[in-house]
């Protein structure tokens, strides 16, 4: 074989390899491969962004839960304090009532027998509303309104 034929065969082989490489990187399959690689990269970035958003949402939910628990504790403490104050007020009112009732019995005799009823519901005034006029009147429970009161509310 002559050196010229050898060079021609080598050149031919190099041309075939070169042509194959050019076809590989510029052909339709290469374009599809590049498109798929770009889509995979875009999906990976979107997945990372979604994971970060999910972590942020979970942290926000946890902060909201903690805030709600603090609010519930504050509301519970507030109403416990209000309940304690109402209990104290009721005890003071009962003490005042007992003092006034004792003073009335000792100083006024039998004239204030209504105080002997204690704090029962019958001793407290009731509000009634006349359906005809809408006027609100107060009367002691257990008593019947007088004829004058009935006429004025009607």
Whose structure tokens read 């403490």? 77
Query: Per-residue pLDDT for 140 more than 50?
Result: no
Do 87 and 129 belong to one domain? no
Do 88 and 125 belong to one domain? no
String of DSSP letters for 102-125? HHHHHHHGGGGGGGGGTT-GGGSE
More reliable by pLDDT, 15 or 76 = 76
Q: Which two tokens stand for residue 11?
A: 């050149």
Do 62 and 126 belong to one domain? no
Coil vs helix vs strand at 127: strand
Q: Which two tokens stand for residue 81?
A: 């304090």
Do 29 and 54 belong to one domain? yes
Domain that holds residue 154: 120-154
Query: Per-residue pLDDT for 19 more than 90?
Result: no
Judge contact between 120 and 96, C-beta under 8 A: no
HSE (side-chain half, CA atoms, 13 Å) at 95: 6
Report the percent of the chain where pLDDT is more than 70.
67
Q: How many domains does the chain have?
A: 2
Q: What pLDDT, in 10s, does the model give residues 97-132? A: 999 988 888 888 766 655 555 555 454 455 555 555
Query: Per-residue pLDDT for 154 more than 50?
Result: no
Query: Per-residue pLDDT for 62 more than 90?
Result: yes
pLDDT at position 77: 97
């Amino acid at each position: 074989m002559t050196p010229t034929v050898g060079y021609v065969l080598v050149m031919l082989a190099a041309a075939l390899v070169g042509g194959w490489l050019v076809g590989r990187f510029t052909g339709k399959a290469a374009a599809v491969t590049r498109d798929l690689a770009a889509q995979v990269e875009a999906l990976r970035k979107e997945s990372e962004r979604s994971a970060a958003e999910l972590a942020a949402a979970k942290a926000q939910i946890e902060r909201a839960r903690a805030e709600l628990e603090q609010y519930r504790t504050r509301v519970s403490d507030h109403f416990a304090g209000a309940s304690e104050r109402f209990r104290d007020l009721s005890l003071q009112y009962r003490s005042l009532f007992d003092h006034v009732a004792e003073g009335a019995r000792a100083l006024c005799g039998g004239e204030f027998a209504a105080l002997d009823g204690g704090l029962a519901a019958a001793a407290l005034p009731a509000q009634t509303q006349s359906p005809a006029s809408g006027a609100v009147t107060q009367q002691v429970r257990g008593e019947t309104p007088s004829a004058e009161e009935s006429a004025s509310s009607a």
